[in-house]
Structure 1
Amino acid sequence: MPPSVETFDPQAAIRAELLEGLLAEPAHIASKYFYDALGCKLFEAICELPEYALTRNEAAIFAEHGAAMARAIGPGCTLIDLGAGNCAKAAALFPLLHPSQYVPIDISQDFLLESVARLQPRFAHIEMTPVAQDFSEHLQLPASVREQHRLFFYPGSSIGNFSPSQALALLRRMRALCLGSDGGVLIGIDLLKDKAVLEAAYDDALGLTAAFNLNLLRHVNRLAGTDFDVKQWLHRAHFNAALGRVEMHLLAAEDVRLSWPGQQRFFMSGESIHTENSYKYSIEGFTELLQRAGFEVQGQWTDADQGFAVIHARASAG
């Protein structure tokens, strides 16, 4: 029997959000819409690229320090996996963490259900409660999620897709859902590093990140009824040092008239749609953010090159 899933019906809100972004000055599309079925597979491929060391560095940290993390966290947690995708990162920690319940949360419902259906037979002793949800705005947990020893797992530096103020708000929502000082977070952050290294990671020689960015337009066509032609757009990525973030954009390669039912917008050649921010942190800066959200850092681990960090923090008492 396939696992049950808590669902939501976002279609009208999604279309309104997308069209509002396309009409804005400058135009923008939220990065959460990268992850349709093809987008998820493209991102998996990106993680194998030599330029995108983030995933390998994180994996090395878990391989070397996973046992220490598990000792600090303790067994039997309710493991809440934000942006779970194929669930592979969390599953690799099951033998160490021994969670009593696994709660993967992802915006892509079909991909999430497929991933959990593959995972459940391997870990039949772990209760699995997939939740299809856009947690970037409203992080909510169904009543079936256990209240004891909740651990929010947010790997891969996805917290960097939020501005610092948005990241703080999300961390505060996690803290509110910890329901006591036995809850906490295990979170990955990409650290500040050389500009050339950062930009190569988001504009690889093989062009997979460009395909990932351009696929967003096909997804928007399905969600909002637009008529994007990907051949009219170019991928661009650069590090904005003043704001401490890598930005991804799609630039109109020519004058483009974009239409959807009842409306249209004209883009001049060279005009861009902003599709992603990826903020980079120092460990000290992110520790301060966690403290402001109501967490106390218990441990931090980095890779050999000091390019990535995994931080464990507990909910502060009171």
Structure 2
Amino acid sequence: MSEVSIDVHRDGAEVTEELRQDVREGLSAEVKWLPSKWFYDVRGSELFDRITTLPEYYPTRAEREILRARSAEIAAVTGARTLVELGSGSSEKTRLLLDAGTAGGALTQFVPLDVSESALSASAEAIAADYPGLSVRGVVADFTEHLDFLPGTAPRLVAFLGGTIGNFLPAERAKFFTSVRSVLAEGEWLLLGTDLVKDAGTLVAAYDDAQGVTAEFNRNVLHVLRTHLGADVDPIEFDHVAHWDEQQEWIEMRLRARRPLTVRIPGADLTVRFEEGEYVRTEISAKFRPEGVRAELADAGFAVRHWWTDAQQRFGLSLAQVRD
């Protein structure tokens, strides 16, 4: 089994304080919102894993199809010695990149980064057991804040998969791409997964499945408020809503109050009142066009060297290189 080390840059107290601040800001706003990252406690992560297997949820299958077809090419083109995965989760799809990189002989280190120390440790141990000789160095951190801590031997390939980039507003995406560029040297690489614009019916179904798993995932943010901040909220008092915003070209997930409510959140020293039918925005999931991806990456100092889609052209995977 390979050696595993974990660098921790985000502890439990910091996480709770960050949640407290987000709740105060988001639920005090005129149009209420909460960041989507608070879906992902243990229960939320399990629910999302279930979502990825649902018939309506195509992004995971589409991206996996591309990675199966292109991982060997990615390994050959990049010659990466270190694979960094941002928001690694279980690293299931990443194994296709690890297989190709280690088979080619160049890849010697895997650096998964995730906010959850427990999930990261379990994933890192599993990878180390399955890839003897591969150094595994986990990083517990927030990829919107702690990229300066990324280790690794050059050339590095940073993978940001699953369409997670769509959860950022345009200005946040620009900041994120710039921060990734700032920690990479000239010639290093970014592998980016982006869900593509398509018909509204397919998009909405992917975020409002017939079994109601996505609805439970959406409500899980309320379970997190109950567990960590003592909120006296019953998640069943809110309906799940998935709305396609054609102008912005994103899916917006919302929680809608079924009746007038007063929610006390002692851990944030906050009382929140909801009118019947009032929304809380919990996630955006932007959908992209190829020319838009290229332009946003170019603005941050990347040049897209390869662009691939699945057979049905539902999902895009771009391999971009830091340019001088």
Counterparts of 2:84 and 2:159, CA distance in 1: 6
Task: Give the corresponding residue for 1:247.
Answer: 252
Structure 1 residue 2 displacement after superposition: 6.2
Task: Give the corresponding residue for 1:54.
Answer: 59
1:23 aligns with 2:25: no
Question: What does the per-residue CA deviation read over 1:279-298, in whole Å, with 9 as the maximum and x for residues that have no partner?
Answer: 01101111000100100111
Contact 2:113/2:140 (8 A) holds in 1: yes
Structure 1 residue 17 displacement after superposition: 1.8
Task: Give the corresponding residue for 1:116.
Answer: 124
- Structure 1 stretch displaced more, 38-47 or 215-224: 215-224
- Gaps of at least 5 residues in structure 2 are none
1:129 aligns with 2:137: yes
Contact 1:19/1:224 (8 A) holds in 2: no
Counterparts of 1:176 and 1:59, CA distance in 2: 28
- Gaps of at least 5 residues in structure 1 are none
Contact 1:3/1:129 (8 A) holds in 2: yes
Runs of 4+ in 1 over 4 A off after TM superposition: none
Structure 1 residue 55 displacement after superposition: 0.6
Could you state the TM-score of these two structures normalised by the residue count of structure 1? 0.94
Question: What does the per-residue CA deviation read over 1:234-257, in whole Å, with 9 as the maximum and x for residues that have no partner?
Answer: 100010011110000001111111
Counterparts of 1:192 and 1:69, CA distance in 2: 25
Residues 148-163 of structure 1 mapped to structure 2, 5 A cutoff: 148-163=154-169
Counterparts of 1:259 and 1:31, CA distance in 2: 21
| Match of residue 90, structure 1, among 90, 94, 98 | 94
Question: What does the per-residue CA deviation read over 1:193-237, in whole Å, with 9 as the maximum and x for residues that have no partner?
Answer: 001110000000011100100111101222333222112111000
* Aligned partner of residue 130 in structure 1, secondary structure: strand
Counterparts of 2:126 and 2:224, CA distance in 1: 25
Q: Which amino acid aligns with 2:195?
A: D
Counterparts of 1:39 and 1:150, CA distance in 2: 30
Counterparts of 2:162 and 2:205, CA distance in 1: 17
Q: Superposition RMSD on alpha carbons, in Å?
A: 1.5
Task: Give the corresponding residue for 1:198.
Answer: 203
Task: Give the corresponding residue for 1:6.
Answer: 8
Question: What does the per-residue CA deviation read over 1:66-117, in whole Å, with 9 as the maximum and x for residues that have no partner?
Answer: 22222211142x2110110011122221121232211111112211111112
Q: Which amino acid aligns with 1:301?
A: W
Structure 1 residue 3 displacement after superposition: 3.5
Q: Which amino acid aligns with 1:286?
A: V
Contact 2:4/2:135 (8 A) holds in 1: no
Counterparts of 1:75 and 1:277, CA distance in 2: 32
* Aligned partner of residue 8 in structure 2, secondary structure: coil
Counterparts of 1:53 and 1:132, CA distance in 2: 29
Contact 2:24/2:270 (8 A) holds in 1: no
Structure 1 residue 14 displacement after superposition: 2.5
Could you state the TM-score of these two structures normalised by the residue count of structure 2? 0.93
Question: What does the per-residue CA deviation read over 1:265-309, in whole Å, with 9 as the maximum and x for residues that have no partner?
Answer: 110110011000000110111100010010011101111111111
Structure 1 residue 138 displacement after superposition: 4.2
Counterparts of 1:26 and 1:17, CA distance in 2: 14
Q: Which amino acid aligns with 1:25?
A: E
Q: Percent identity?
A: 35
* Aligned partner of residue 129 in structure 1, secondary structure: strand
